[in-house]
């Protein structure tokens, strides 16, 4: 009887002690008081107050569960096909959802890629119940062309700003359109063509193609200059000064657009023709057809056109004159190295359109041109280059 009383007294003391501690802060793992802001603290190593050093060699082992529906507390209250009795009515569900706000579990289920319903998509990891749905801890929300698949942020999704369009075209090129116009001092996103890395630029880099050369071409008669043939001005890859948006074709000496763009084109070519005769030459009258004879002091007259031509990708396939300049050199002037400058012209270009520079003697006008070591396309006096072409995308 005496032993029974002693045992009973010990049980009562234990119950009282446990009951008292259930309403206080608790430390598990070491006989120390927890930090003041913690209701429950797990640690096994002593750390001085105010120190944030290591206080355990073990972790907190969360329960592993298999979640199945984002907006339901399954498997805590049964399953979608068989919910528990206290989680069946809308009232019971609302009360349980609210009460379990802050519940944290480790989910072991990962939904297959074939699942498209966002309410059924899960990935393995920590999930917290918000009172309305399970949220993967640490995953951001996605908007305006971004989406989340198995809690992975991906490019491609519904646009919240209808003006912005982000697509990858058939050539696997990323294109962004409909962005807001920024001020001239705004920074721009640019791509390093060597590494592919995105970066910031203080200003938008110009889309510019510029070719210039000091090479001379002296065999224009052999190329049909006197018969009115179009003589294409030749270029080489070495003539490129800069080019970040065109394709240079050294076979046909053309420049092809890689994208639709409003472009500005201009060019320069140096020329010296020297007439082969000093007899009467038909030079014509401005605005009228050439006369049968026109003899300005029986002087030799050289006439040459420099023209920028375009071949439309969606057109007839023929080269069309777009912008041109004419040089008329009378008397001793034609013995000099003259400059033909084609002023800037604006073109509404399409991807695949091509541009080239030609020179041509107008049919029936001026005297015959000659070939020679210092004749044809030449470097004019006072300059360093015989030709140049500039194409800028607006």
For 127, 169, 189, the CA distances from 176, given in Å and listed in that order, are: 35, 11, 11
CATH topology of domain 208-284+294-393: Jelly Rolls (2.60.120)
| Each residue's pLDDT tens digit, 191-224 | 666 666 667 666 656 799 999 999 999 989 888 9
Residue 317 · residue 304 · CB < 8 Å: no
Half-sphere exposure of 181 (CA within 13 A, CB side): 1
For 110, 128, 151, 157, 226, the CA distances from 142, given in Å and listed in that order, are: 20, 19, 10, 8, 68
User: Which distant-in-sequence residues (6+ apart) come within 8 Å of 26 by Cβ?
Assistant: 34, 39, 40, 41
Of the pLDDT bands very low, low, confident and very high (cuts 50, 70, 90), residue 286 is very low
What pLDDT, on the 0 to 100 scale, is given for residue 141?
56
Of the pLDDT bands very low, low, confident and very high (cuts 50, 70, 90), residue 47 is confident
Residue 120 · residue 70 · CB < 8 Å: yes
> How far apart are the C-alpha atoms of 127 and 122, rounded to whole Å?
10
What pLDDT, on the 0 to 100 scale, is given for residue 287?
35
Of the pLDDT bands very low, low, confident and very high (cuts 50, 70, 90), residue 163 is low
User: Domain locations in the chain?
Assistant: 66-138, 208-284+294-393
| Each residue's pLDDT tens digit, 106-156 | 999 988 888 888 899 888 889 999 999 998 886 555 556 666 555 556 666
> How far apart are the C-alpha atoms of 184 and 203, rounded to whole Å?
7
Half-sphere exposure of 12 (CA within 13 A, CB side): 6
């Amino acid at each position: 009887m005496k032993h029974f009383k002693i045992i009973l007294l010990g049980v009562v003391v234990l119950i009282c002690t446990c009951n008292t501690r259930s309403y206080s802060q608790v430390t598990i793992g070491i006989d120390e008081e927890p930090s003041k802001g913690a209701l429950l603290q797990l640690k096994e190593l002593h750390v001085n107050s105010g120190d944030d050093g290591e206080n355990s060699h073990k972790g907190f082992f969360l329960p592993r569960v298999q979640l199945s529906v984002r907006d339901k507390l399954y498997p805590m209250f049964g399953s979608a096909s068989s919910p528990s009795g206290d989680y069946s009515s809308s009232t019971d569900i609302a009360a349980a959802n609210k009460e379990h706000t802050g519940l944290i579990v480790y989910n072991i289920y990962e939904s297959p890629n074939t699942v498209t319903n966002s309410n059924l998509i899960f990935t393995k990891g920590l999930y917290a119940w918000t009172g309305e749905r399970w949220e993967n801890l640490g995953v951001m929300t996605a908007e305006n062309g971004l989406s989340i698949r198995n809690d992975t942020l991906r490019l491609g999704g519904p646009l919240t700003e209808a003006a912005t369009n982000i697509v990858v075209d058939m050539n696997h090129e990323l294109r962004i359109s409909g962005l807001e116009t920024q001020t001239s001092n705004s920074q721009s996103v640019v791509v390093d063509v060597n590494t592919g890395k995105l970066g910031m630029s203080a200003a938008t880099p110009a889309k510019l193609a510029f070719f210039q050369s000091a090479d001379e071409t002296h065999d224009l008669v052999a190329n049909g200059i006197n018969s009115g043939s179009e003589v294409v001005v030749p270029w080489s890859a070495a003539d490129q000064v800069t080019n970040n948006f065109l394709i240079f074709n050294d076979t046909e000496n053309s420049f092809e657009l890689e994208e639709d763009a409003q472009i500005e084109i201009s060019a320069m070519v140096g020329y010296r023709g020297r007439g082969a005769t000093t007899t009467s030459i038909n030079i014509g009258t401005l605005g009228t057809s050439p006369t049968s004879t026109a003899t300005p002091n029986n002087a030799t007259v050289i006439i040459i056109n420099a023209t920028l031509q375009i071949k439309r990708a969606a057109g007839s396939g023929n080269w069309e004159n777009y912008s041109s300049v004419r040089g008329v050199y009378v008397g001793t002037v034609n013995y000099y190295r003259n400059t033909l400058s084609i002023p800037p012209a604006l073109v509404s270009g399409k991807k695949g359109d091509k541009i080239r520079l030609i020179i041509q003697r107008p049919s029936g006008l001026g005297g015959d041109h000659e070939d020679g070591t210092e004749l044809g396309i030449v470097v004019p006096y006072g300059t360093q280059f015989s030709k140049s072409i500039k194409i800028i995308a607006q």
